Structure 1
Amino acid sequence: MADVVLVAGAWLGSWAWDEVLPGLRAAGHRAWPLTLSGLAERRGVPAGQQTHVQDIVGEIERRELRDVVLVGHSYAGIPVGQAAGRIGDRLTRVVYVDAEVPVDGGSFASGWWQGQAAFESELADNDGDWAPLDAAGFDGQGLTDEQVARLVKGYTPHPGATLAEPAVLARPLGELPTTYVKCLLDGPEPNDTVSALLTSEHWRLVTMTTGHWPMFSQPDELARLLVEEIG
C-alpha cells in the first residue's frame, strides 16, 4: 500500500482529483489530494514558491506518511520535484502528469515559452495573479463541454509569486525514481528539460492519448496508470 499525494496544477485545488481517487483506493492505496496555499478553499493565503514546497513536505510529515508516491500535474511538478528531494526515504516514486519540472534557480516564469518578461507582464496586468483560462482555452484537449464547464467554474486565480520565485533543489531530479506521463493532445514530445532527464536510468516515460487535464478527460485511465506505476 502506498500513500499517494496528489497535487494539481495552476488554478486548481484538491477537488481536481475527485474522479481519480476511487480507482486508487480500490487498488488498496491511500490517496491524499492536496490544495496548495492561495488556491481553491485556501484562496487568500499568502504563498510563494517555497510555501508550496512546504505545503507538500508538511502534509507528508504531519500525516506521518511512508511509501510516498508524489504526483504533480502541470505547474505542480515544480514544487513536487523540490519536495521529493526533501522527504528522504519516505519517497517511493515521483509521477509528473504532463508537468513542468523544477530547474535549480529557475522558475515557471523563466521557462515561459514567450519569455519571462512576457509572463511577468501578464501577472502585472492581473494584480499579480495568473488569470485562469476561459472555455476556449481548452479546445483540442479531449474534454467534453461538461468537463470544461466544471474546470472553469472551479478555477481560482493563481498567486503570481509561486510562479516567479526560483526553485531550490535538494537533490538532482535524475537520482529520483520517476515516471513522466506525457499527454499527447498537448504536444507529442516532452520539453527539452524533461527529455534530458529521461536519459536517466531512474526515469521512465509513459503516454496518454488525451489532453493536459487527464484527471478530467480520462480519470479512470489515469488512476489505472498510477496504480501500474506504483507497482
Structure 2
Amino acid sequence: MRRWTTVATLVAVMMLTGCSSASGWSEMRAAPAPLGTPAAGFAPTAPLAPEATYAPEPGSWEGVRPPAGYRVVLLTVGDDAPTAVLVDAVEDWAAETHADLRVVHADADMIDGAVEAMRMNPDLIISAGDALVDPLATVTANHLDRQFLIIGAELAEPTENVTAADWTGAAYRGEGLGTASAYDPSSFTPERAGAAIRAGVTSVLTGQRGIVLWID
C-alpha cells in the first residue's frame, strides 16, 4: 500500500508540473455535451449513491453519441482474448462515432501508461485489461479532474470520476478481491463489449458518473 501511495504522489507531481505529450491534444477542455438523449430506463428514478451498481434498460443508451472529435485515450494492457475483444469494441465504437481515438499500450509500466494517457488531455480515458485495475485505483483518486471508464472490470471503491460497465462473467475488482466466482472469459463477446462501451460513454456524457453500469 505504501508503494502505491508513493507512486500516486509522484504521478500528482508530474501532472502538476505541466508536462505534456507531443502526441496528445493541446490542453484540457470543458466536458463535451452529448448528442441525443437516452431513452427511458437508462437513468434511475432516484439519485444513486456513490459506487452504486445500476442496470439500465437494454438499448436505452443507443440514442446518445459523443460529438465528433470526442477525445478518447484507450489505455490497455495484455493480449488475452477478453482484452482483445474489448479493444476491438472500443475501436469499432470510435470509428462509428468519429471519436478521436489514441491508444496507449501500458504493458511496460502501467503507472507510466496512465500518466501518458492523462498527459494527452483527453475527454475520457477508457481502460481495457484486468491488470490495470489496481494501478488505476490509485491514479484516479489523485486526479479527480480526469474522467475514466473501465470496461469489463471495476474498482472496488471508485471515486466520482470513475465509471464502469460490467456484466455477469466479468467484474474483476482487484485489491486482492480477484475475479468474481462467475468469471467467464467467453462472456466477453463483441456484442456485450459493444453495449458496455456505448452505455458507459453515455453515462459519462450525461453526468451519471462514479457508478457501475450492469450490462446483461
Question: When the two structures are superposed, what TM-score results if normalisation uses the length of structure 1?
Answer: 0.42
Choose between structure 1 and 2: higher helix proportion. 1
Question: When the two structures are superposed, what TM-score results if normalisation uses the length of structure 2?
Answer: 0.44
